[in-house]
Amino acid sequence: DEAGEELLRAVIRYHANQHRVVGFLDRDARRLGTRIGGIPVVGTYDQACATAKRLGVEQILLAGGALTGKEVRRLMEEARRAAIEVKVLPSYEQLLAGRLAVQPRPIAIEDLLRRDPVTLELDNIHHWLEGRTLLVTGSAGSIGSEIARQLLRFSPKCLVLLDRSETGQFFLERELREIQRRLLAGNRTAPHLAVVLADVLDGPRMQHIFREFRPDVVFHAAAYKHVPLMEFHPGEAVKNIVLATRQVADLTARFRADSFVMISTDKAVNPSSVMGACKRLAEMYVQSMTEVSTCRWVTVRFGNVLDSAGSVVQIFRQQIAEGGPVTVTDPRMERFFMTIPEAAGLVIQAGVIGESGQIMVLDMGDPVRIVDLATDMIRLSGLEVGRDIEIRITGLRPGEKLFEELQATDERTIPTRHKKIRVALGSRVERVRLIRAMEELQKLADEDPEAVINQLKQIVPGYGGIPNLTTESSRRAA
């Protein structure tokens, strides 16, 4: 087929001296004996290693995204027993986009956790975003930058990228300018790019930016994310997560944007940490905006993303490179994971289908035990646990949970038209009381950390066991 032929051409073009392609593998056994670019289909995926041994093959090249994580894991284990090397090529889509060099790479942890490809409503997203001005806050972060990359394909008029990280913005602009250049070279529409250095807490600066660009759609991804650190700096968490969200939301309403999409986290559910409580409070404020603005207010809640800056994957990778030990807080600890591109794509999709005031919950799949993640990463490095490198249990850190949840005890979820997105139905937020409580919290933000935490306990349902600011009798899309 077309994808197979493109991959074959790429391997021959760049690696003719290192690789002699003897056959293709396919899911469909009915294709056995057919040819792709003159090369026969010699087996199916589930018989990959047996077919390779029969043909005397030393290496299996796997097209990126062709198999689910479970299938990759099974192939990896079989190949290790059979002493066959498995490497991964770019996907067909990546080859066409020219985003990656055609260089076979070792299996990565992302491959083992890969799920079925996410299908997006591309026509509906295009209709929503084409010709419009889009603002992304936190654009230098892992999620914000990937949202920015994906937004380019939907032909906006202007893409405004806002972050306070000078270095992050510098490298993001270089990357997006190159994508912009390729779009223009292919006679496709390329948006105006505005890379803006600003702190979302700087009121006058943010007003100037909204006045200058007047965004139609705002993606709010700016926020702190490290749970243990925020336990010791609750005032900063309040400012960066809660007050910044309030400021961006208020400006969105004031300048009459059409849609506001906020990035949230599973740590906002029954929060046990300052960071989670602040994120839940930000969710509540965004929901309350439906009472005062006709803008469409949507929150998107999901779990961990793989290989984001400072993530557990990066920490494990560094610890393995240093010879260990690899540190895990508790052998029972589990987390939900998805890839950064998958999360960003579903955020945009949720922005299309979400109704005002809704919290959209992404399907995170099955939780992953962190100790299993560590074991996989050690093995992928060619090492064995115990023999070459130690896994050390260190104990839970401040604010951490053993297990994350995607809906609170006072919530239930219902499906949407997209199978990977559900809506959390919860209790109604009382805006007047919420604003009063947030004003008091703002006064305390630079004061005693304990006072900040006590105020958060008074405001945020489930944090400290004092759910005060919701009305159980009024159920709505929350």
Cβ count near 323 (within 10 Å): 11
Cα of 361 vs its chain's centroid, Å:
13
* Residue 396 C-beta-side C-alpha neighbours within 13 Å: 11
Cβ count near 402 (within 10 Å): 14
* CB contact at 8 A, 91 and 99: no
Catalytic hit among 267, 279, 401, 420: 267
- The single-letter DSSP state of residue 385 is B
* CB contact at 8 A, 426 and 408: yes
In whole angstroms, give the CA distance from residue 16 to residue 9: 10
* CB contact at 8 A, 195 and 163: no
In whole angstroms, give the CA distance from residue 1 to residue 166: 45
Beta bridge partners of 44: 26
Structure-token pair, residue 464: 């400290």
In whole angstroms, give the CA distance from residue 10 to residue 19: 11
- Collapsing DSSP to helix, strand or coil, 42 comes out as strand
Beta bridge partners of 389: 385
* CB contact at 8 A, 426 and 358: no
In whole angstroms, give the CA distance from residue 16 to residue 295: 56
In whole angstroms, give the CA distance from residue 458 to residue 122: 43
* CB contact at 8 A, 425 and 412: yes
In whole angstroms, give the CA distance from residue 333 to residue 304: 13
In whole angstroms, give the CA distance from residue 455 to residue 98: 51
- The single-letter DSSP state of residue 109 is H
- Collapsing DSSP to helix, strand or coil, 404 comes out as coil
Backbone phi and psi for residue 81, each to the nearest 5 degrees, phi listed first: -65, -30
Strands (E), 241-294: 259-265
Q: Is 267 a catalytic residue?
A: yes
| Residues labelled catalytic | 267
